[in-house]
Structure 1
Amino acid sequence: MRRSIAAASLVTGVVTTALACPLPASAEQSGTTPVTLSVTSGTLDISVPTGPVALGSVGTSATPQTISNQLGNVTVTDSRGGTAGWVVTANGTDFVGPQNISVSAPGSSSYTTPAANTTGTVNVTPSNLSPLYPPGPVQTATGVSGNNTATWNPIISVTIPANALAGTYNASITHSVA
């Protein structure tokens, strides 16, 4: 009987110990962790010739004369990394000198826009502007995907009125991009 009591005590001790120690939790065979990252956008910028740009010179005349020359490279840099297009507008101010030469009358001035040299994914369509004032679009970008650039060199033409006074005339041309 002592053996039975000893055996029963041993079995009771093993069962008690087994019940007092928790069993290991079942382990997952796989797990998923959400992960994010961020790509930040850049800017939409325009660079223009710093000038002054000389359109040239003509002698005084009893008849109107037109003077034309390239302005210099205008470049749009689109680092926004998106799909939104952009539009460049331009306009000029009247030439001020010994007298004013208007750039807002029909036939008084023009901005001839060549096709742009581009990088990236973008379709850029040129538009001529005549006269130089009021402001108007000169390049329109569509089909944008990611970063892109566009560069062009416009021709500026100004009609000098008959009997214009001799001297130096100054004006400015403003470009903006949105």
Structure 2
Amino acid sequence: MRKRFAALTSVCAGALTVVLAAPAVAAPTADTIVTFTVEAGTLDIAAPPGPIDLGSAPPGGTLTGPIGPVTVTDTRGGATSTWTATVYATDFTAGSLTIPFSAVEYWSGELDSGTGGGTFIPGQLVEADAVPLGGTPATAVPAFSHTGGTGGSTASWTPRLIVNIPITAQVGDYTGTVTHQVA
């Protein structure tokens, strides 16, 4: 009888080993926690470096032409994406000859492209709204602005200049600088 009991115990122990050694059931999901940080970016403006040739006209004439595109990129990531771009110019000179910055008018035109929520507002939507340029950052005229929205925004427009050549202007190749700024 002992032999049978020993044999039976041996068989049961082997079966128990087989049951205990069975593979585990795989979990149907596995979570991984991931973190990252959104950093504040910058508020930037870009315009073509030029030179941009508006052509030629006689004293008393007018020249009109595009000087863009101008692009504002706001990646500050704030609760609002509000900014204003302004523009001013130097006098236009040819050696000792000068055509004052105030003889040059600016109009922004409409938005070429924009991203982000909020409202994009042109400084001067149409040519009839053109304004004479100021000569310093403090006397700069509005070019474009953005209000509202969250996070960031981008805006591009193609402004135009109207050069009203004074009747007293002398012949020459005049050069000046038009500066866009954003805050």
Residue 50 of structure 2 is matched in structure 1 by 51
Given the alignment, which residue of 97, 118, 121 partners 1:122?
118
Are 1:115 and 1:124, in contact at CA under 8 Å, matched by a contact in 2? no
Are 1:119 and 1:150, in contact at CA under 8 Å, matched by a contact in 2? yes
Distance 1:37 1:51 in 2: 40
Distance 1:72 1:175 in 2: 11
Shift of residue 139, structure 1, vs aligned partner:
0.7
Using structure 1 for the length normalisation, give the TM-score: 0.71
Unaligned residue ranges in structure 2 (runs of 5+): 1-34, 125-129
- 1:1-178 counterparts in 2 under 5 A? 38-58=37-57, 60-61=58-59, 64-82=60-78, 83-98=80-95, 99-104=97-102, 108-116=103-111, 117-128=113-124, 130-133=131-134, 134-178=139-183
SS at match of 2:76: coil
Shift of residue 37, structure 1, vs aligned partner:
6.0
Distance 2:40 2:123 in 1: 28
RMSD: 1.8
Percent of aligned pairs sharing the same letter: 40
Aligned residues: 138
Find runs of 4+ consecutive structure 1 residues off by over 2 angstroms.
36-39
Which residue type is aligned with residue 74 of structure 2? D
Unaligned residue ranges in structure 1 (runs of 5+): 1-35
Shift of residue 115, structure 1, vs aligned partner:
1.6
Distance 1:122 1:95 in 2: 37
Distance 1:177 1:114 in 2: 17
Shift of residue 160, structure 1, vs aligned partner:
0.5
Distance 2:163 2:175 in 1: 12
Are 2:81 and 2:152, in contact at CA under 8 Å, matched by a contact in 1? no
